[in-house]
Structure 1
Amino acid sequence: MKSIFFILIFTFSLNIFSQDQVLDITLKTLDGETTNLKEVTEKNSLVVVSLWATWCVPCKNELDAINDVYDDWKEETNVELIAVSVDDSRTVNRVKPLVNGKAWDYTILLDTNNDLKRALNTAIVPYTLILKDGEIVFRHTGYTPGSEDAIYEELKKHL
């Protein structure tokens, strides 16, 4: 019982100290160029950042569901979606073919060292953030059908 209590306290403390600002983290593009998450997110005042992986079925389901409504989202909220793959060096070569096959119209970045994932104190993907003017205003973990509607409703709150 004590160990469960300490695990809960530890998990709670991680959430307290989690980042609220966009991190100055270097990531790679699909073309192998280096970019910075902070710089990429500064281009638009409203940004969705989704951490995902090729081996994660809920991640792909979420990005597929958002893809179906993404044009409407952009038109109504001027949001940009940045999908950050957390595939490691063993599976990162699957990202580009998957993205091309899905025809996702997102900015795709690679976090092969999991620097962003660690900085956000998350072990679970999909992990979705909404950023407003460089500040994290919403976090969502996991995916169930309809979660994209909750994300959209949250986006509308920050217009």
Structure 2
Amino acid sequence: MKKLVTWSNALNVVVTVLIIVVLFNPQAKAFILQGLMKVGFFKPPVENTEQARPASLAPTLSLVDPEGKTINTADHKGRVIFINLWATWCPPCIAEMPSLNTMYLRYRDNPKVMIVTVDVDNDFNKSLLFLKRKGYQLPVYHLVGDIPQDLFTGSIPTTIIIDKTGAIAAQHQGAADYTDDRFYTYLDGLIAN
């Protein structure tokens, strides 16, 4: 008679349950992605800041904060603007949030940098509750109107970096670890130029 419960069968059940949990639970998927970030996957875009800047100027974006104050990116020419589009239900967005918060804390007092996180669901109650529950200090905004398709194709997270001249310096779709030293060197180079 064949044994029904073997180590192999038990291991198969455990692996199957883990796969199901990761597939259907955004927090579990985010946890796995965070682990992959820590071992070196999901590097942010880093280009040589000594090269000529791209010629394409970023379109002006109008954003509103939870208090109803509207800002326009064009009014902040002369600053490096880091924009991250995200949602509370997006596992890659959740995975990169700790690194975004760390980066924000590093640069928040630097008047030459503006870090903007944009909740694409336009639900301040949900996004503010999420940030508070996680202990993040990131500022959150909503878009006023639609974002141009050349900046955002609908994939989140999407990060757009606008240099001091108003040109698009970098654009990245997908999660990234923004605490990477090479990224800090890149961002510092944009700030210094």
TM-score of the pair, normalised by structure 2: 0.56
Cα distance between partner residues in 2 of 1:153 and 1:122 = 28
Structure 2: gaps (5+ residues): 1-54
Cα distance between partner residues in 2 of 1:130 and 1:120 = 10
**1:45 to partner: Cα distance:** 1.4
Pick from 62, 79, 95: which aligns with 1:61? Answer: 95
Task: State how 1:43-62 maps to structure 2 within 5 Å.
Answer: 45-62=79-96
Change (3 A) 1:121 1:98: closer
> Contact between 2:86 and 2:119, CA under 8 Å: does it hold in 1?
yes
Cα distance between partner residues in 1 of 2:57 and 2:95 = 27
Cα distance between partner residues in 2 of 1:76 and 1:109 = 19
Cα distance between partner residues in 2 of 1:108 and 1:120 = 18
TM-score of the pair, normalised by structure 1: 0.66
> Contact between 1:73 and 1:152, CA under 8 Å: does it hold in 2?
no
Q: Which residue of 2 aligns with 1:123?
A: 154
**Structure with max Cα Rg:** 2
> SS state of the match for residue 116, structure 1?
coil
> SS state of the match for residue 147, structure 2?
helix
Q: Which residue of 2 aligns with 1:143?
A: 175
Alignment root-mean-square deviation, CA? 3.0
> Contact between 1:125 and 1:141, CA under 8 Å: does it hold in 2?
yes
> Contact between 2:101 and 2:136, CA under 8 Å: does it hold in 1?
yes
In the alignment, is residue 30 of structure 1 matched against residue 66 of structure 2? yes
Cα distance between partner residues in 2 of 1:83 and 1:95 = 10
Change (3 A) 1:21 1:104: farther
Structure 1: gaps (5+ residues): 1-18
Higher strand share: 1
Partner deviation per Cα, 1:42-67 (whole Å, 9 max, x = no partner) = 3x611211111111121122122121
Q: Which residue of 1 aligns with 2:133?
A: 101
Letter of the 1:106 partner, please give it: L
Change (3 A) 1:127 1:151: farther
**1:29 to partner: Cα distance:** 1.4
> SS state of the match for residue 98, structure 2?
helix
Q: How many residues align?
A: 135
> SS state of the match for residue 137, structure 2?
coil
> SS state of the match for residue 118, structure 1?
coil
Letter of the 2:62 partner, please give it: T
Cα distance between partner residues in 2 of 1:127 and 1:31 = 24
Identical positions, percent: 25
